[in-house]
Amino acid sequence: QSLTEIKKRGKLIVGTEPTFPPFEFVDEKNQIVGFDIDIANELAKRLGVKLEIVSLPFDSLIPALLQGKIDLAIAGMTITEERAKVVDFSKPYFEANQAIVVRKDGKFEPKKLEELVGKKVAVQLGTTGDLVVSEINGIQVVRFQKFTDAFLELQNARVDAVVLDEAPAKAYVKKFPKFVISSVIDTGETYGIAVRKGNKELLNFVNQTLDILKSSGTYNKLLQKWFE
Ligand code: ARG
């Protein structure tokens, strides 16, 4: 959808998968909130339209974008070559690595991905965490649509570890002191906002807004708000 169409419609439709704190998660009031959601709000505000958040499984975000069901996907989404073949990404707005989370009983504290061989490892379907563990032979990968379910399995000792991005890993460990990050794998990822391929107008608007948020200090305020 062009900017004119979005304005005419009066709302910006953003897709996300909300089990990824502090980027997007469901709060006590049952609202989807987080760093990405605040960025989405800034985008809508600057367009003079309302924001509609559509919650989808992570691996359905790109298909939904391609089908025109959402205007943007903002979901802590790593810019990868594969994804960039089918969607366009904004400039990078966040840097990330993968983390291994285990139960804090000291029985299993893997320091490298290779130590997960022979173990059951939970990931979110279609994420870069899914990719890195699936590349290693002999890891039994258990794929979930929601990270909340992956952590439930870890809690119930039905899996040995969860692999996910470091910032959400920290957020889950903070919320559930039974878990601990046993190591961080340097994957050097960056997050981008995804738009339909060739939607230059919307992409430029997103990039300009990211620039403005950074130069005005709003971006730093949001970092402080969600990452303290
Ligand atoms: N950064 C990872 C990826 O792009 C995980 C993103 C998961 N995001 C989410 N909202 N569940 O694959």
Give the C-alpha separation, 27 to 4, whole Å: 33
Q: Please indicate, yes or no, whether residues 16 and 82 belong to a single structural domain of this protein.
A: yes
List, in sequence order, every residue forming a beta bridge with 194; answer none if it has no partner: 73, 89
Structure tokens belonging to residue 35: 């760093």
Tell me, in angstroms, the distance from the centre of ligand 1 to residue 165's CA. Answer: 7
Question: Which residue, by CA, sits nearest to atom 5 of ligand 1?
Answer: 127
Report the CATH number at residue 111: 3.40.190.10
By C-alpha distance, which of 80, 97, 98 is closest to 89? 80
Residues 105 and 185 in one domain: yes
Helix 147-155 to helix 166-175 angle (10° resolution) is 50
- Are 176 and 209 members of one domain? no
The C-alpha atoms of residue 140 and residue 83 are separated, in whole angstroms, by 25
Do the beta carbons of residue 209 and residue 45 sit within 8 Å? no
What is the per-residue pLDDT across 94-133, written as a single tens digit (0 to 9) for each?
Answer: 999 999 999 999 999 999 999 999 999 999 999 999 999 9
Please state the rounded mean pLDDT for residues 31-39.
98
ipTM confidence score: 0.98
144 and 35 both lie in a single domain: no
**Ligand 1: which of 65, 128, 131 to mutate, judged by most atoms within 8 Å of the beta carbon?**
128
What range does the domain containing 181 cover?
A: 97-189
* β partners of residue 163: 100
Number of domains in the chain: 2
Structure tokens at 11: 């709302």
Pair (73, 135) in one structural domain: no
Please tell me if the CB atom of residue 124 comes closer than 6 angstroms to any atom of ligand 1: yes
Give the helix/strand (H/E) hosting 121: strand 120-124
- Give the residue, out of 33, 80, 95, 165, with the most ligand 1 atoms within 8 A of its beta carbon, to mutate for a pocket test: 165
Q: How many Å lie between the centroid of ligand 1 and the Cα of residue 8?
A: 31
